[in-house]
Amino acid sequence: MKILSVNAGSSSLKFTLFEMPAGEELISGTFERIGINNSFYSIKLNGEKIKKEVELDNHKTAVKYLIDELLTNKIIVSLEELEGIGHRVLNGGEYNKSIIIDDEFLNVFPNYFELAPLHNPVNMVGIEVFKEYLPNTLMTAVFDTSFHQTMKKTEYLYATPYEWYENYGVRKYGYHGTSHRYVDLTIREHLGQNDLKVITCHLGNGSSITAINSKGEVVDTSMGFTPLVGLIMGTRTGDIDASIIPYIMKKENKTVDEVMNDLNKKSGFLGISGVSSDSRDIENGAEEGNELCDLTQKMAARRVANYVAMYNNLLEGSDVICFTAGIGENSALTRQMVIDNLKSLGVKIDPQLNDVRGKFRKISTEDSKIMVYIVPTNEELMIAKDTYELVTKE
């Protein structure tokens, strides 16, 4: 059964087509600079990557090219072969699992736009465009937030006036849930043990950490009401004191939107180092003696370690720490620096085992008190799996 996994962004659209339930990737691709000049798309097929420069004035045009590619490459003979389309949706409020998109959801979902103004409306555009071309194909919404819905009020509430939660939904939602869930399921399956307590560290451009109890339920996660808080990220601050916002508004004569833009787009690795949001540039800078790059690395690693220590306490001890996403999978230095900051927990990794990129591997020593693994994430496959399950249940 062929299932398409879709991630629509404001100027991009990513897709992967899977043969399910095998999880075999048939074709994948990204449309970029949609609605902007110099738009193009690239597709990966049979291990080859092809780039095509085309005009993409909107998402509808992108989906038309996508369908053409599937047909001309004979991956499908007719559109009926696509039996399910799973859409990544950023914030699903208090939905606690992936759902089939029906009229009720389409009516309710605009109420959630305000919770993620940059993502939710464009996720809806993705859904609508696919509906135009494939009105009878079953579609699902797979939320970044739903895995975190097992958090209790003790974790998800902020100590703000309670009415803010009741009236406006001010609470921690948590993000990257699809990735944390994939990593958690993968490590449980690998170790053949279901009662594990797991701390998943998704370290990429955006980063978050999740504490998962022995029942596989999220107890806490580091992102919050929005994906701005928690760890230090490529361009996002992570945790800061909210009073900084009005203070800088006055000092720099800025609007709240301008300061929020600074916190979202000009902070984190980029903000501290002044060099780049990309961890590779930061690593290179530090190696060449740039003190601010060195500081960025130290601050970021320490923040990760502090969250791990806090979650280890929350879980009353943990069995496995997993590293995933661009930095977590690829940066041996980041992993080493994080673990070096966790001496109080007796976690140890073997530098030789840690000297690897993008591979599933145990990197902790035999005498480490907590096992440490690299677990490459696959959010697209998780979306396809959820969609496959919902399609076959129908």
Could you give the residue numbers annotated as active site? Answer: 144
User: Which residue number, 190 or 357, has a Cβ lying nearer to ligand ADP?
Assistant: 357
As a whole number of angstroms, the distance between CA 133 and CA 141 comes to: 17
* By the rule CB under 6 A, 199 interacts with ligand ADP: no
* By the rule CB under 6 A, 29 interacts with ligand ADP: no
- Closest contact distance (angstroms) between CB of 2 and ligand ADP is 25
User: Which residue number, 146 or 334, has a Cβ lying nearer to ligand ADP?
Assistant: 334
Number of residues engaging ligand ADP in binding (CB under 6 A): 13
Instruction: Tell me how crowded residue 47 is: count the other CB atoms within 10 A of its CB.
Output: 5
As a whole number of angstroms, the distance between CA 16 and CA 365 comes to: 36
Q: Tell me which of 25, 155, 262, 278 binds ligand ADP, using CB under 6 A.
A: 278
Q: x/- contact string, 222-261, with ligand ADP (CB under 6 A)?
A: ------------x---------------------------
As a whole number of angstroms, the distance between CA 288 and CA 307 comes to: 29
Q: Tell me which of 123, 149, 331, 368 binds ligand ADP, using CB under 6 A.
A: 331
Which span sits near ligand ADP by CB under 6 A: 167-175, 220-228, 299-307, 322-330? Answer: 322-330
Closest CA to 348 of 335, 323, 365: 365
In DSSP notation, 54-105 reads ----SHHHHHHHHHHHHHHTTS-SSGGGEEEEEEEES--TT--S-EE--HHH
- Closest contact distance (angstroms) between CB of 134 and ligand ADP is 27
User: Which residue number, 206 or 230, has a Cβ lying nearer to ligand ADP?
Assistant: 206
Q: Tell me which of 327, 339, 370, 371 binds ligand ADP, using CB under 6 A.
A: 327
Closest CA to 62 of 54, 70, 51, 73: 54
Phi and psi of 251, rounded to 5°?
-60, -40
Phi and psi of 52, rounded to 5°?
-130, 130
What SS3 state is found at 96? coil
- Closest contact distance (angstroms) between CB of 325 and ligand ADP is 4
- Closest contact distance (angstroms) between CB of 9 and ligand ADP is 10
Report, in this order, helix, strand and coil percent for the chain, each rounded to 5: 45, 20, 35
* By the rule CB under 6 A, 205 interacts with ligand ADP: yes
As a whole number of angstroms, the distance between CA 246 and CA 367 comes to: 49
Element (H, E) at 283: helix 279-287
Strands annotated E in 120-212: 138-143, 198-203, 207-212
Q: Tell me which of 51, 152, 251, 357 binds ligand ADP, using CB under 6 A.
A: 357
What SS3 state is found at 7? strand
Q: Closest residue to ligand ADP, Cβ-based?
A: 326
Task: Compute the radius of gyration of the chain from its Cα atoms.
Answer: 21
User: Which residue number, 51 or 280, has a Cβ lying nearer to ligand ADP?
Assistant: 280
- Closest contact distance (angstroms) between CB of 222 and ligand ADP is 14
Which span sits near ligand ADP by CB under 6 A: 50-58, 95-103, 134-142, 274-282? Answer: 274-282
Closest CA to 297 of 281, 310, 311: 281
User: Which residue number, 86 or 204, has a Cβ lying nearer to ligand ADP?
Assistant: 204
* By the rule CB under 6 A, 326 interacts with ligand ADP: yes
CB 196 within 8 A of CB 227: no
156-163 long-range contacts, Cβ below 8 Å, gap at least 24? 158/224, 158/225
Q: Tell me which of 280, 287, 355, 392 binds ligand ADP, using CB under 6 A.
A: 280
Q: Tell me which of 296, 330, 341, 354 binds ligand ADP, using CB under 6 A.
A: 330
* By the rule CB under 6 A, 90 interacts with ligand ADP: no
In the DSSP assignment, the letter for residue 152 is: -
* By the rule CB under 6 A, 209 interacts with ligand ADP: no
Q: Which residues bind ligand ADP (CB under 6 A)?
A: 204-206, 234, 278-280, 325-327, 330-331, 357
